[in-house]
Amino acid sequence: MTPVVNNELLNNFTIAVQPSKTYALDVEKGVIRGYANGLGAVKQAVYKALNTERYDHLIYSWNYGSELKELFGKPISLVYPEVKRRIEEGLKQDDRINSVENFSFEKKKGSLHVTFTVVSTEGSFESEVNVNV
């Protein structure tokens, strides 16, 4: 027998969007200054997710961060598609991020410089990360 759902109960719910206001990091000086909201908060979330190795810190959920450290020493033919997949997977855990596009790779001595576009609910912006290979 299939349960009957009372539609009246479903109509009584409203979905509230939580603000993205957070403390603003000044990465260059290593201090916290004021607050970030909107696009600034999303940019900061991308920076933090890309610079936090997944599974390394007990304070974070296993869904948070990226898995880029593990690519060190792997063949470059494997690294290119894996970097793209891991960046997309890590960033799309944030419900404010719709997609990650336009990847560009530049091989430098000992590292891979990756630039990409993040499309979020707050707007689009360019981001980058260096991966040690």
Domain assignment present for residue 67? The answer is: yes
Shortest CA distance to 67 belongs to which of 78, 80, 83?
83
Residue span of the structural domain in which 109 resides = 38-132
Tens-digit pLDDT string for the chain (133 aa): 676 666 666 677 676 666 678 999 998 898 999 999 999 999 999 999 999 998 888 898 888 989 888 888 888 888 899 999 999 999 999 999 999 999 999 998 888 999 999 999 999 999 999 988 8
pLDDT at res. 6: 64
Q: What is the pLDDT of residue 4?
A: 67
pLDDT at 70: 87
Instruction: Tell me whether residue 111 is in a domain.
Output: yes
**pLDDT tens-place string over residues 77-101:** 888 999 999 999 999 999 999 999 9
Q: Is residue 33 part of a domain?
A: no
CA 125 to chain centre: 13
What pLDDT sits at residue 17? 66
Please report whether residue 57 resides in a domain.
Answer: yes
Largest CA distance in the chain: 65
Spatial CA neighbour of 95 closest among 29, 133, 55, 41 = 41
Whether the model clears a pTM of 0.85, i.e. scores above it, the answer is no
Question: Would you say residue 93 lies in a domain?
Answer: yes
Q: How many domains does the chain have?
A: 1
In-domain check, residue 112: yes
Q: What is the CATH number of the domain that holds 79?
A: 3.10.450.40
